[in-house]
Amino acid sequence: MSYGLPLALLLAAAALARLYAVLPRATPRRRTAPPRTGTCALAVFLGSGGHTSEALALLAGLDFARYTPRTYVLSSGDALSAKKAIALEAAKASPAGSSRKSPYALVTIPRARRVHQPLLTTPFSSAVSLAACAYHVALAPLLTGRPFADVLLVNGPGTCVMLCLAVYLNRFLGLPSPKLIYVESFARVKRLSLSGKILKPFVDRFLVQWPDLAQGDSRLQYKGCLV
């Protein structure tokens, strides 16, 4: 009985040390390796409505021959985002000459919290959401041998926090995990969104689309309007 507390403290300290070890570095290490020649598997979270529109606008400029395969992660019941993702894929597919199909997949995860859902049941729906994220990010890759993605792009809202949490579970356990890139919405001029505030210390790159937002915070980068 006298070992319980010290053991728990030791475990907590070890967990904190591990978490600290996997947190992004404040100053990014400069890349000295030769340029990447292969492809890069991309995953993107489509958070419905304006979040989806902005995320797909970000993808619209990418070279899909480089970023392949692509995984679109959707909240359950968001048929409109699925439709928009399929429309983008159709628009990006080279019209003539190329018969090579660029592969992509849609996966669905339950929402962490539905609009107007009572606060009391939010922990349960969040846990269900997290379990689904962990399945796609950790378990499915272990079973199939195909990694989830090399990079995960998120821009809110809440459910994307679960997805990032699942990525951190992988990092914590030393499993392959995607780079995390957060792009704050064009709607955020002076203050970060709640998802942005929560995820800021954890993502590898945090981009904002208004100059005032990046003022005085070295973790936030402004490179113009991206959508």
Is residue 151 at the binding interface for another protein, with CB under 8 A as the rule?
A: yes
Smallest CA-to-CA distance from 180 within 161, 202, 207, 147 is with 202
Q: Binding residue for another protein (CB under 8 A) from 18, 22, 57, 172?
A: 57
Q: Distance between CA 70 and CA 87 in Å, rounded?
A: 14
Q: Is 190 in the site for another protein (CB under 8 A)?
A: yes
Residue from 62, 131, 139, 198 binding another protein (CB under 8 A): 62
Beta bridge partners of 206: 182, 220
Choosing from 12, 66, 76, 173, the residue that interacts with another protein (CB under 8 A) is: 66
Look at the chain and count its residues: 227
One residue of 135, 188, 198, 200 binding another protein per CB under 8 A = 188
Under the binding rule (CB under 8 A), the answer on residue 65 touching another protein is: no
Closest CB to another protein among 42 and 133?
Answer: 42
Give the one residue of 43, 132, 167, 207 binding another protein; rule: CB under 8 A: 207
Closest CA to 103 of 149, 47, 135, 65: 65
Residues in Cβ contact with 171 at an 8 Å cutoff, skipping those fewer than 6 apart: 22, 177
60 binds another protein (CB under 8 A): yes
CA distance 190 to 103: 38
Residues numbered 78 to 137 that lie near another protein (CB under 8 A) are none
Q: Which residues, in sequence order, are CB contacts of 149 under 8 Å at separation 6+? A: 41, 42, 43, 71, 178
- Distance in Å, CB of 80 to another protein, minimum: 9
Asked if 225 is part of the footprint of another protein (rule: CB under 8 A), the reply reads yes
For another protein, the binding residues (CB under 8 A) are 31, 33, 35-36, 40, 49-50, 53-54, 57-58, 60-63, 66-67, 150-151, 179, 181, 183, 185-191, 204-205, 207, 210, 223-227
